[in-house]
Structures are given as structure tokens and as C-alpha cells.
């Protein structure tokens, strides 16, 4: 299966930068899911939108940059950096991470496994 993963990554980045949870969720299959740092999965587009809304609430001014995208068949790895400030402390955040995507036949994310350094996030948030 071949997808234009560069175009998907650029549009996904723009969706995050729009501040719209629904725009982020639109990149997922209807039954898609995301798990971050082996936590509880967010299921379906509604769950993905709730996950994105949580990030937008926790990180006002969130700005996402795509650092790279690599693909093989229906699998892709999207690397990213986001900046913003912690909603509780106001301290600046500069967080890097990645998502491993399984894409469906329509180029939608069927499953995503996301990773970032939660200890570093907490350190930055605390100042």
C-alpha cells in the first residue's frame, strides 16, 4: 500500500496547529486509536478528539513541528517537536517525540503508538 506520507504528515501537523481537536481526529479512521507512552488508549475519532483537546488545554499556545516522516507500506513513523507553556505553571515547554502509525487503505491512522519523555515534560513544567 502506498500513501503520500509527506502530505499526510504536513496536513496532520497543520491540524494540530489549528487548535481543533476535530481536525486532529479527522486523520484517524472511524475506529482508529492512539496510545501514548503505553497508557490507556483513546478509541475512535471521539476519543482521539478528547486526547487532542486535553493537550490543547494542558499546553496553551501549542505549536507542533514535523521533524521527519518515514514510511514502509502501511506503516509510518512521524517525529515531532511541540512548544508552548504549561497551563498550570506557565513554564515554557519544548518536547520531542514520535508516533508510530498503522495506516488503513484510505491513508487514515488505524492505530498510533505515541512516545515522549514524560519525566522531561514534568521537569520542564515544574520549571
How does pLDDT run across 85-126, given as a tens digit for each residue? 999 999 999 999 999 999 999 999 999 999 999 999 999 999
Q: Which three cell numbers mark 69?
A: 516522516
**Cα dist from 124 to 47, 57, 62, 83, 118, whole Å:** 27, 17, 14, 11, 10
Please tell me whether residue 57 adopts helix, strand or coil conformation. Answer: helix
User: What pLDDT, in 10s, does the model give residues 4-50?
Assistant: 999 999 999 999 999 999 999 999 999 999 999 999 999 999 999 99
Q: Pairing relation of β-strands 42-43 and 28-36?
A: antiparallel
pLDDT at 1 over 80: no
Per-residue pLDDT at 2: 61
* Architecture of the CATH domain 5-126: Roll (3.10)
Per-residue pLDDT at 3: 78
| Distant-in-sequence, close-in-space partners of 28: CB < 8 Å, separation ≥ 6 | 34, 45, 48, 108, 109, 110, 112
Amino acid at each position: 500500500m502506498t500513501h503520500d506520507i509527506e502530505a499526510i504528515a504536513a496536513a496532520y501537523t497543520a491540524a494540530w496547529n489549528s487548535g481543533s481537536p476535530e481536525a486532529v481526529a479527522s486523520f484517524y479512521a472511524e475506529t482508529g486509536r492512539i496510545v501514548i507512552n503505553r497508557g490507556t488508549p483513546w478509541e475512535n475519532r471521539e476519543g482521539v478528539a478528547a486526547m487532542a483537546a486535553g493537550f490543547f488545554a494542558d499546553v496553551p499556545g501549542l505549536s507542533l513541528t514535523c521533524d521527519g516522516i518515514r514510511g514502509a507500506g502501511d506503516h509510518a513513523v512521524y517525529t515531532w517537536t511541540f512548544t508552548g507553556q504549561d497551563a498550570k505553571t506557565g513554564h515554557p515547554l519544548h518536547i520531542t517525540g514520535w508516533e508510530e502509525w498503522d495506516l488503513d487503505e484510505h491513508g487514515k491512522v488505524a492505530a498510533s503508538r505515541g512516545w515522549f519523555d514524560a519525566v522531561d515534560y514534568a521537569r520542564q513544567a515544574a520549571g
